[in-house]
Amino acid sequence: MTVAPRSRRRWLVLAVLVTGQMIVNLDVTIINTALPAIKRAFELSESQSLWVADAYLVIFGGLLLLAGALGDRFGRRRILMIGMTVFVLASIGVAFSPNANFLIVGRGLQGLGGAMVIPQTLSILTAVFPREERSKAFGVWAGAMGFGMAFGPLIGGVLIDQIGWSAVFWVPAPVAGIALLGMTVVPESRSTQHTRLDIPGAVTGTVGMVAIVFAIIEGIQRGWSDPLIIGAFAIAAVSLTSFILIERRTPQPLLPMAFFRQRDFTGAMIGMFFIMFAL
């Protein structure tokens, strides 16, 4: 399945990976505290205010599957480090945004970087930890995710009071940069099969994920009976059903259904889904 030796430095690898993903997840909730100050600073409309927060989540949720597949094909450490680089640069860009549109685009790029980071961390942990230690490693991973999201608003409040709203983006950036440097100790791994990218699966999976994340986020504001929300849910249902059918039949699936027979993997995915849904 993967090409990566069981690393003797696996606990160091775990520390690096959870630090990176914790910073990424911190940014999901830290915006909630910063948003009122950002709204005043840029005189944002209600729609702009929503998208400052939601641009991250829509891009992040929509691209997770595709980013995971890219890691399998081109190397997980490579995609992980590219994603963390994008995240760090986007965070700095958001902190020094000259206007609202630049800010929203920057938040979307943060989501892109985050989407490239998170699935690689899980796959790399699977590659470097033996089966008997994976539950412990995944538990630490999940705990770091919860910590980042839970303490995001608290940390954001302190930074805003002491420095200003831009600090919630540029202060975590050096920590993410340190994690990026630490990723040089992470062993490279990828799928052992030289497969083509599952284009139909990538398209249907990405469209379905973007549509359902958009529908959930916007449905809270617009109302669940809004035609746009109903349409988005319909697109999500058709796309995700097509995705499952494609993945079950293709010899080179984007997301092998056999993964869900692994309790550790399935538990981590379910936990991440409910955390993201609660946001």
Task: Annotate 177-197 with DSSP letters as a single string.
Answer: HHHHHHGGGSPP--BSS----
Task: Provide, rounded to the nearest whole percent, the portion of the chain with pLDDT above 90.
Answer: 44
Residue 44 to residue 91: CA distance in whole angstroms: 19
pLDDT tens string 83-125: 999 999 999 999 999 999 999 999 999 999 999 999 999 889 9
Cα→Cα distances 2→42, 74, 123, 153, 279, Å: 47, 12, 9, 37, 33
Q: Which two tokens stand for residue 97?
A: 């945004």
Please determine, for residue 237, whether its predicted confidence score (pLDDT) is greater than 80.
yes
Residue 53 to residue 167: CA distance in whole angstroms: 16
pTM equals 0.82
The predicted pLDDT at position 150 comes to 87
Q: At the top level of CATH, which class does the domain 10-193 belong to?
A: mainly alpha
Per DSSP, 2 falls in state B
Crossing angle of helices 100-128 and 46-74, in 10° steps, is 30
Please determine, for residue 3, whether its predicted confidence score (pLDDT) is greater than 50.
no
Q: Which of 153, 157, 126, 160 is nearest to 141 (CA)?
A: 126
Please determine, for residue 271, whether its predicted confidence score (pLDDT) is greater than 70.
no
pLDDT category at 269 given cuts 50, 70, 90 is low
Please determine, for residue 254, whether its predicted confidence score (pLDDT) is greater than 80.
no
Residue 116 to residue 125: CA distance in whole angstroms: 15
pLDDT category at 182 given cuts 50, 70, 90 is very high
The predicted pLDDT at position 42 comes to 92
The predicted pLDDT at position 183 comes to 93
Residue 189 phi, psi dihedral angles, 5° rounding? -150, 155
Residue 191 phi, psi dihedral angles, 5° rounding? -65, 140
Crossing angle of helices 46-74 and 10-42, in 10° steps, is 160
Q: Structural domain boundaries of the chain?
A: 10-193
Residue 7 to residue 15: CA distance in whole angstroms: 13
Please name the amino acid found at residue 94.
Answer: V
Q: What is the mean pLDDT of the chain?
A: 86
Q: Across residues 61-76, what is the average pLDDT?
A: 88
pLDDT category at 278 given cuts 50, 70, 90 is low
Residue 279 to residue 273: CA distance in whole angstroms: 10
